[in-house]
Structure 1
Amino acid sequence: MTINMMDVVGRISYNCDIMFRVIDIREDQGRKIAVLYGEDVRLIADAPYEDLIVMDQNERMKVSREYRSLEEQSFKLFRQDIDLLKQKQEYDTTNGYKKAYNYFQVPGRVLHIDGDPSYLKKCLSLYERIGVPVTGVHCNEKEMPNKVGQLIDYYRPDILVITGHDAYSKSKGTMNDINAYRHSKHFVQTVREARKKFPHLDQLVIFAGACQSHFESLIHAGANFASSPSRVNIHALDPVYIVAKISFTPFMERINVWDVLRNTLTGEKGLGGIETKGVLRTGMPFNPIKNEQS
């Protein structure tokens, strides 16, 4: 069977447990090697050409339905959290509903830098559905350290997301060796460059990492939240749920890490972080300008 670029494939040796897109095919010592991007998880992998099989439409739809079901369940739980946050904020702002104040809310602005344009598009769609103000930028993981500074200067975000694809390779070293990871060192360098602009953890909230990323290095570099504590795969949309929770939490409140993680698709094995302030701000009065008819 011929495998072509952008085909959706599974790895025979892994019982086709994950769907991948073929993004490159190269020769390595006389063997054909395919470079794969996960369709629903932020994993990059190399695989022998002969270990791949094109996933038929029925199988793709079956796997896709399973992921969509998980995504929708996670979204509903997250939506409940956001509604509770808004009700609490309304109660506090109106002095226990005793006074009818005209107020407005300014959720935190997100700059999402992603190494995968397909995942970035999915994330932007979810941000829009939730109501988070966001700017998305596609950037190769290796180029992120050189570009993040100017992007921060231009967009002035409250929350920065640095993600794409990653993977741990046992043949390259132990799990403690950052050089054994595909892009963890680039994510770490990017976080460090961002912290040169905003050293304080509550000035700029940072999420960094992808599948199997070196969690400890990312946190030590200055990320508030990162992946992956147990070196497992994370879902493509997990960063959105984390930063959206931060975006809608008032800046006078601190976020319990478990409250952020519990409604993600991956949970604490794939995601972790440190206590962080929210970034939502409330103002008043709310006085929209109305167009007057002459």
Structure 2
Amino acid sequence: MNIKIGDIVTRPSYQRDLLFRVIAINDSEAGKYATLIGEDVRLIADAPCTDLEVVDAKEQDQRKKQEEELLERSLELIQQDYRLVREKTEYSMTNGYSHSHRLFQIPGKVLHVDGDPNYLRKCLLVYEKIGVPVYGVHCVEPEMPEKVGKLIEDVRPDILVLTGHDAYSKGKGNKDDLLAYRHSKHYIQTVQEARKRVGNLDQLVIFAGACQSHFELLIQAGANFASSPSRVNIHALDPVYVVAKLSFTPFTDRINVWDVLRNTLTGAKGLGGVETKGLLRTGMPYESDE
């Protein structure tokens, strides 16, 4: 089958487990190879065109429906957590509902820097749906270290998300060898640059990484949350679910790492982090009490 740029494909050698989009085709001595990016996971990969199968529109629609059902379940958990937090806060601030002043809430502000414009659009839609204030920027991974400082100064976020694509190649080294990763070094350098601007882990909360990223070095560089402890793929929207928990947890509370991970689509194999304070602030009154 003739594989073209833009085709949606699967890899039969991997049991057709994931959908990919073809972004480049290159000739080599071994034949034609395609560069692929995941449709729903933040993975970039190279594969021989002979190991690719184009997915028809009907199957794409079926997979998309399954994906949407999974996302809705995760969103319901996030919204349920938020309702519980709001009820608890309202009870406390109104002295057991002894007065009726309305409250307002200010969730943490997000700067989301993404190496993939399609994933960024998906994430921005979910941020909007759950009410997280966000400023999104598309920036390819190698350019992130030099641009993040100015973005932090301009946006002044509470939460910084650095993500896009990554991949770990066993053929290039063991999992501790940074040279075996596609973009981990760029995320690490970007986290380091961000920490030069804001060193306190509670004043700027950072999520960094993509599929199969070097989790340990990202945490050492100063990320609060990162991927991928078991070098597995993470879902395109996992950073949003991490951010939602951070953004809607009161700043007086500390967040248990598992409470963050349980609402993600990947879980503890793909994501991890350190204990971090919430970022939600509540005030009153919401409107004139006259």
Q: What letter is aligned with 2:136?
A: G
Please list, as runs of the form range in 1=range in 2, the aligned pairs for 1:1-294 lying within 5 A after superposition.
1-29=1-29, 31-287=31-287
CA distance in 1, matches of 2:23, 2:204: 33
Instruction: Name the SS for the 1:25 alignment partner.
Output: strand
CA distance in 2, matches of 1:25, 1:33: 6
Q: What letter is aligned with 1:161?
A: V
CA distance in 2, matches of 1:204, 1:95: 31
* Deviation of the 1:178 alpha carbon: 1.4
Normalising by the residue count of structure 1, what TM-score does the alignment of the two structures yield?
0.95
CA distance in 1, matches of 2:80, 2:217: 33
Q: Contact 2:78–2:244 (CA<8 Å) still a contact in 1?
A: no
RMSD of Structure 2 on Structure 1 (CA): 1.1
* Deviation of the 1:25 alpha carbon: 1.1
* Deviation of the 1:17 alpha carbon: 1.0
Q: Give the length in aligned residue pairs.
A: 288
Q: Contact 2:229–2:270 (CA<8 Å) still a contact in 1?
A: yes
Unaligned runs of 5+ in 2: none
* Deviation of the 1:89 alpha carbon: 1.3
* Deviation of the 1:30 alpha carbon: 5.7
* Deviation of the 1:12 alpha carbon: 2.1
Normalising by the residue count of structure 2, what TM-score does the alignment of the two structures yield?
0.97
Q: Contact 1:93–1:101 (CA<8 Å) still a contact in 2?
A: no
Q: What letter is aligned with 2:52?
A: L
Q: What letter is aligned with 1:153?
A: E
Instruction: Name the SS for the 2:206 alignment partner.
Output: strand
Instruction: Name the SS for the 2:113 alignment partner.
Output: strand
The percent identity for this pair of structures is 66
CA distance in 2, matches of 1:28, 1:101: 69
Match of 1:292 in 2: none
Q: What letter is aligned with 1:78?
A: I
Q: Contact 2:211–2:228 (CA<8 Å) still a contact in 1?
A: yes
Q: What letter is aligned with 2:212?
A: Q
Instruction: Name the SS for the 2:268 alignment partner.
Output: helix
Unaligned runs of 5+ in 1: 289-294
CA distance in 2, matches of 1:211, 1:94: 44
CA distance in 2, matches of 1:223, 1:215: 9
Q: Contact 1:242–1:260 (CA<8 Å) still a contact in 2?
A: yes
Moved more, 256-265 or 98-107: 98-107
CA distance in 1, matches of 2:90, 2:73: 26
1:7-29: CA deviations, max 9, x gaps? 10011211211100011111233
CA distance in 2, matches of 1:271, 1:109: 21
CA distance in 2, matches of 1:78, 1:103: 20
1:53-79: CA deviations, max 9, x gaps? 111122222222222111111111111
